[in-house]
């Protein structure tokens, strides 16, 4: 089973319970998603938005509350996760779903905003760079990219500190042992990368105003904008 199949299988298994658990698995949940949503700014009432690794549509739901008439495309490997998203977003008129590997996704039309939440850290470093390049090309001029994700610590000590803090908070939650073990099992699929290298990669690909806007241990919200050429 390749990595994409493993990811799809792992998240298909937890699709129905995923969002209930997510608040307990992300200690900084409100600030993390709140920052990403606030950064998704547009002067259009109906911006076009692409959600990479959209899962159950949680990130899209925050964006649609902000822009109810937005045209949103959710792409994910897990069919069952997208089934949850379809139920969650059924009241919104301009939402489409694509079951596919978003790493090499080339859009027919460009987007105003491209977002991703807790997905890109499953990709290898070369896959991340390929995705970031495609994301740049899939954006309209002045379009923005927001990646709310997890990163490695800059040193082995910091990375150990990040992981220990997360484990302590998860194990202090009211998640049952089975849920905690399932979360730990999913971390084996992670391929987290260094923060500075990702920021550098975005800049080298042509993104401007690149920054890490929010950081809580290894939870980060990255931002970049496509300037006029």
User: Which domain CATH number covers 217?
Assistant: 3.40.50.150
Cβ atoms of 44 and 37 closer than 8 Å: no
Q: How confident is the model at residue 214 (pLDDT cuts 50, 70, 90)?
A: very high
Which residue is listed with tokens 């089975």?
178
pLDDT digits (tens, 9 = 90+) for 10-63: 444 444 566 777 888 999 999 999 999 999 999 999 999 999 999 999 999 999
The whole-angstrom distance between residue 106's C-alpha and the CA centroid of its chain comes to 18
Q: Give residue 38's domain range.
A: 3-226
List, for residues 103-144, the tens digit of each pLDDT value. Answer: 989 998 999 999 999 999 999 999 999 999 999 999 999 999
List the 48-52 sheet strands across, edge first. 95-99, 71-76, 48-52, 111-117, 139-150, 219-226, 207-216
- Count up the domains in the chain and report the number: 1
- Helix 177-187 crosses helix 18-25 at what angle (to 10 degrees)? 80
Residue-level pLDDT at 229: 57
Share of the chain above pLDDT 90, in %: 75
Mean pLDDT of 60-83: 95
pLDDT tens sequence across 147-166 = 999 999 999 999 999 999 99
């Amino acid at each position: 089973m390749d990595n994409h199949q493993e990811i799809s299988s792992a998240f298909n298994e937890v699709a129905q319970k995923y969002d209930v658990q997510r608040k307990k698995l992300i200690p900084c949940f409100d600030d993390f998603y709140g920052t990403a949503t606030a950064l998704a700014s547009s002067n259009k009432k109906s911006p076009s938005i692409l959600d990479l690794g959209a899962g159950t549509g949680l990130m899209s739901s925050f964006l649609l509350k902000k822009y109810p008439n937005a045209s949103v495309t959710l792409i994910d490997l897990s069919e069952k996760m997208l089934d949850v998203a379809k139920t969650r977003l059924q009241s919104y008129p301009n939402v489409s779903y694509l079951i596919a590997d978003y790493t090499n996704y080339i859009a027919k039309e460009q987007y105003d905003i491209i977002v991703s939440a807790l997905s890109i850290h499953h990709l290898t470093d070369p896959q991340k760079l390929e995705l970031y390049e495609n994301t740049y090309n899939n954006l309209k001029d002045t379009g923005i990219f927001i990646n709310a994700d997890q990163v490695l610590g800059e040193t082995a000590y910091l990375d150990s500190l990040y992981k220990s803090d997360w484990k302590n908070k998860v194990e202090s939650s009211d998640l049952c042992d089975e849920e905690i073990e399932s979360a730990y099992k999913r971390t084996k699929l992670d391929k987290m990368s260094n923060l500075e290298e990702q920021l550098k990669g975005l800049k080298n690909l042509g993104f401007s105003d690149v920054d890490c806007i929010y950081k809580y241990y290894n939870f980060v919200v990255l931002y970049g904008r496509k300037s006029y050429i």
